[in-house]
Amino acid sequence: AASGARVVSTWDFGVGANRAAWTVLAGGGSALDAVEAGARWAEADLCNPTVGRCGNPDRDGVLTLDASIMAGDGRCGAVAALEDIAHPVSVARAVMEKTPHVMLVGQGAQQFAVEQGFEKTPLLTDEARAAWREWLKTAKYEPQINAERRQRPGDASNHDTLGILALDAQGRLAGACTTSGMAWKLHGRVGDSPIVGAGLYVDNEVGAATASGVGEEMVRNAASFLVVELMRQGRSPAQACREAIDRVVRKRPEASKRMQVCFLAMNKHGETGAFALHKGFVYAMQDGGPGPHDRLHDAAS
């Protein structure tokens, strides 16, 4: 039922997100349902300090979540700076399906979520609070290029946003992106992940792209849109990601030495590719083909 279907996700924990998404695709489900399922898996994961429950807080110790979801026909929804709601990607989907808008932020997003039946619940874990207290000792905002994977809650870590792109058996594309953003950000800071065109972009005519890393650079370059437009002009997913990285570097050559930016793309034929500013970015792919189903790929850099 799922022939031709495929899902890719950022970072090593993308394997788990892909598994959740694949359950949907293998049953003949839609790419949109698949990416939501994958994002929800990551949001519930207690080992990821950059997504959902267990995310690291901002400078003031407040955990604020950003998420977006997009279908290849142009439908999209997003939430930013959402507090105390465990599944921002599903709130983003509700914004898409139940409102005339595409994005809600802060208190308004939370109010909408509660009206839609999402439960308000404190999400900050003891480990994340302890990591924040530790950070307060120096209180320097210096994102690492690549984070150490957090093996258990509490280990310090930074880049781990989930971006997930899926193609279903009907040839429809969809994507989602979910994050708690850069650890120790200013309260109220919004990154690229909930911004359609920056952290995520999907167009059934061409393909889909998502991003991880220092979100300010994705916003500056409308980067996921850029990757999709480069594919529209004939670039392969990997080439498109590489050229988008070139653009990031040309704009900010000095800053580029000290930060990570990663792009992941899939075209409408299911070809995938990635490129990162610095070594260390991996993505997971699941296509139900023979052999290992959860392959991890090192992105070129």
> Among residues 179, 221, 256, 267, which is the contact residue for ligand SD4, using CB under 6 A?
179
Residue 56 makes contact with ligand SD4 by CB under 6 A: no
Residue 49 makes contact with ligand SD4 by CB under 6 A: no
Residue 159 makes contact with ligand SD4 by CB under 6 A: yes
The pair of structure tokens assigned to 235 is 């670039």
Residue 212 makes contact with ligand SD4 by CB under 6 A: yes
DSSP structure class, residue 52: S
> Among residues 18, 48, 50, 125, which is the contact residue for ligand SD4, using CB under 6 A?
50
DSSP structure class, residue 21: H
Residue 215 makes contact with ligand SD4 by CB under 6 A: yes
Indicate if 179 belongs to the active site: no
> Among residues 45, 83, 84, 160, which is the contact residue for ligand SD4, using CB under 6 A?
160
Residue 29 makes contact with ligand SD4 by CB under 6 A: no
Helix 31-44 vs helix 88-98: crossing angle, to nearest 10: 150
**CB of 50 or CB of 256, closer to ligand SD4:** 50
Residue 28 CB neighbour total at 10 angstroms: 12
C-alpha–C-alpha distance, residues 260 and 19, integer Å? 26
Residue 161 makes contact with ligand SD4 by CB under 6 A: yes
Question: Catalytic one among 64, 161, 179, 210?
Answer: 161
**CB of 9 or CB of 193, closer to ligand SD4:** 193
- Classify each residue of 173-205 as buried b or exposed e, where b means 16 or more C-beta atoms within 10 Å of its C-beta: bbbbbbbbbbbbbeeebbbbbbbbbbbbbbbbe
Q: Are the C-beta atoms of residues 262 and 11 closer than 8 Å to each other?
A: no
Residue 192 makes contact with ligand SD4 by CB under 6 A: yes
Q: Which of 63, 69, 61 is nearest to 89 (CA)?
A: 69
Task: List residues binding ligand SD4 (CB under 6 A).
Answer: 50, 159-161, 179, 181-182, 191-193, 212-215
Which residues are identified as catalytic? 161
